[in-house]
């Protein structure tokens, strides 16, 4: 049984489900609507205790789950929500020992999931353009992993210019313009490797997917989104909750073909108008430019 120690984070929750994340420090108190909670009443005690505030309020005390920590961690950039991180780890098949490059470290939320998935024999290389975002990500990741994890490197710079990994098993892109990293993927991804992009808008999604098709050295891309809805549970009053985590981002993924091989072209015709005169993005093989004389 491990007991709470000074410096670690705990999660307090009351009977109404209100939650607070607190970093323990001897001698301090945490203020709630129901009075003060002394940190010294928690330090040295086991997980799962109930503590009482100065005004009689009761709170359960646990270490936060990773899914709880990442949505409340200090933010520079927006965090990748747990529902999307789970999809990336599962669908992109992040395995123990994998060599993963993450372009766009953001606040470090996805990074900690990737580090857990690659295990002690893998490696995650995170690249972040902004130094302030990188510093926030470093602090958040090290809060979970401890200082200077051996399986992680964080580089401030443009991944397209400073990438250090000669071979990559998985390339995860959380960028405004992930299609600009496709040449990098073509050069560094091993055959069978996975490229996965996390994008917010349909325009970004279309440009990324069509750029993959136009490059030709990747399998037919797939794309999806995940919507999370909790349920209210009370006796026979079992129903969906009124609030939900709806659209956060789209995920798009493809695999690297062997050197010199091209993906099989789609055998069905594109939908009418899919690549009409209003479409300005890259065109996959076999799709011609529209005839300007045809209305």
Answer yes or no: is 174 a known binding residue. yes
Check residue 221 and report its DSSP letter: P
Beta bridge partners of 252: 197, 223
18 Cβ partners below 8 Å, 6+ apart? none
CA distance 226 to 84: 7
Question: Residue 104, annotated ligand binder?
Answer: no
Largest Cα separation within the chain, whole Å, is 80
> Does 212 carry a binding-site annotation?
no
Task: Choose among 170, 173, 148: nearest CA to 159.
Answer: 173
CA distance 26 to 49: 18
Is residue 125 within a helix (H) or strand (E), and if so which, with residue range? strand 123-128
Angle (nearest 5°) at CA 82 between 76 and 88: 100
**Which residues are within 8 A (CB) of 239 and not within 5 positions of it... i.e. 6 or more apart?**
231, 232
To the question of whether residue 128 is assigned a binding role by annotation, the answer is yes
Residues in the chain: 295
Q: Which residues contact 210 (CB under 8 A, 6 or more apart)?
A: 281, 282, 283, 284
Residue 129 annotated as binding site: no
Cβ–Cβ under 8 Å, residues 228 and 247? no
Residue 107 in marked binding region: yes
Contact 72, 11 (CB under 8 A): no
Which residues are part of a known binding site for S-adenosyl-L-methionine?
A: 107-110, 128, 158, 174
Which residues are part of a known binding site?
A: 107-110, 128, 158, 174
């Amino acid at each position: 049984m491990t007991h709470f120690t000074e410096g670690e984070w705990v999660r307090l929750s009351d009977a109404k489900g209100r939650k607070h994340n607190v970093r323990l420090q001897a001698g301090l108190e945490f203020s709630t609507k129901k009075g003060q909670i002394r940190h010294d009443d928690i330090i040295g005690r086991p997980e799962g205790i109930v503590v009482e505030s100065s005004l009689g309020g009761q709170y359960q005390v646990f270490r936060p789950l990773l899914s709880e920590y990442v949505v409340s961690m200090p933010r520079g950039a927006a965090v990748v929500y747990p529902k999307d991180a789970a999809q990336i780890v599962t669908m992109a098949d992040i395995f123990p020992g994998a060599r993963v490059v993450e372009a766009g470290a953001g606040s470090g939320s996805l990074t900690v999931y990737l580090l857990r998935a690659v295990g002690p024999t893998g490696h995650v290389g995170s690249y972040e353009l902004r130094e302030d975002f990188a510093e926030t990500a470093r602090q958040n990741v090290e809060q979970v992993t401890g200082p200077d994890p051996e399986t992680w490197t964080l580089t401030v710079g443009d991944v397209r210019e400073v990438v250090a990994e000669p071979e990559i098993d998985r390339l995860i892109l959380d960028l405004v313009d992930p299609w600009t990293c496709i040449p990098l993927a073509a050069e560094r991804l091993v055959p069978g490797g996975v490229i996965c992009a996390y994008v917010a808008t349909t325009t970004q999604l279309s440009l990324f997917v069509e750029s993959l098709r136009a490059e030709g050295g990747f399998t037919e891309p797939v794309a999806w989104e995940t919507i999370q809805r909790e349920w209210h549970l009370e006796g026979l009053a079992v129903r969906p909750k009124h609030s939900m985590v709806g659209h956060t981002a789209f995920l798009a993924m493809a695999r690297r073909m062997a050197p010199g091989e091209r993906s099989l072209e789609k055998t069905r015709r594109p939908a009418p108008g899919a690549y009409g005169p209003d479409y300005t993005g890259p065109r996959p093989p076999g799709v011609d430019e529209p005839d300007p004389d045809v209305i």
